Amino acid sequence: MKRVAIFYFSGTGNTWWVSKTLARQLGTAGVDASVHSIEKLSPFEADALVHEADAVAFGYPIYGSDVPIPMKEFMGDLSATKSKDTLVFCTQWLWSGDGARIGATFVGDKGFNVKWGEHFHMPNNLCVPFPIAIHNNDSVKKEKYLRFSQRRIELLTEKMVAGRSFRRGFSFLAELNGLVQRAPYRRYMEHRRDNISINQVTCTKCGLCTKLCPAGNLALTGNVLETKGLCVTCMRCYNFCPETAFLYRGRAHKHHHGEPYKGPIPGFDPQILTR
């Protein structure tokens, strides 16, 4: 294996960090690994990268034990290939059950040989005003997650370079665990796509969120920022708004819980995910 193409979707930076770290680790093992945000690629460009690579990887954050809509659409647009060795990985806060396996179902019938699957525990980016959404921007606490994931990346790299198959979350029990979250999540997902709204008084109409949104859900019309009911719950607009002007189900961010999650590393710029 000489060349690997890593395709990722990342809401607030966690999957970006894993993808970049994996590429660096593969590089130390003599593998030429390239990293590509799916938001920047046309289907033609993606197919060309798949064709040129010896192996490919797909990474995404897990939402309700399911694959985010942008990654589902990206996988659906890919052309069929022939026995391409593939890694599918997800980032998660606590657990997903079969987070990697569910992604594999979207590419397995296209000739992608899913040889590796992995789950990476990362800091929680969900900061909406509910008690269960425990988030923290403390760099020391974030670092604990990063160290754990770094070690998993190192072990995964060893397996990939050696050609040894490893698929976490592909067992029947893991699938059942994932289904516990995925079944209700899929049932109500369409109703959640309009949960984000804006405090028009607090909003300064800077336009940053319209540039960041991966779903085209936000539009600045005159002096009004509008939503289109296309939200994919990536939390990018909510977390990175300079004025914390976004509402979730009509409720503002609870500042006494701390500022919204700003990415896995200090100074993370979310615009790197879109440009």
pLDDT digits (tens, 9 = 90+) for 26-35: 999 999 999 9
Q: DSSP per residue over 163-216, as a string? A: T--EETT-SHHHHHHHHHHHHHHHHHHHHHTT-EEE-TTT-----HHHHH-SS-
pLDDT digits (tens, 9 = 90+) for 169-221: 998 888 888 788 788 878 877 778 989 999 999 999 999 999 999 999 999 99
Domain covering 3-182, topology: Rossmann fold (3.40.50)
pLDDT at 275: 76
Q: What is the pTM of this model?
A: 0.94
Q: Which CATH architecture has domain 192-273?
A: 2-Layer Sandwich (3.30)
pLDDT at 132: 54
Taking only the tens of pLDDT, the chain with its 275 residues reads 899 999 999 999 999 999 999 999 999 999 999 999 999 999 999 999 999 999 999 999 998 889 999 999 999 999 999 899 999 999 998 778 899 999 999 999 899 999 999 999 999 998 887 655 566 677 888 999 999 999 999 999 999 999 999 999 998 888 888 788 788 878 877 778 989 999 999 999 999 999 999 999 999 998 899 999 999 999 999 999 999 999 999 999 888 778 899 999 999 999 999 97
Encoding tokens for residue 132? Answer: 């269960």
Q: Which of 13, 68, 36, 107 is nearest to 215 (CA)?
A: 68
Structural domain boundaries of the chain?
A: 3-182, 192-273
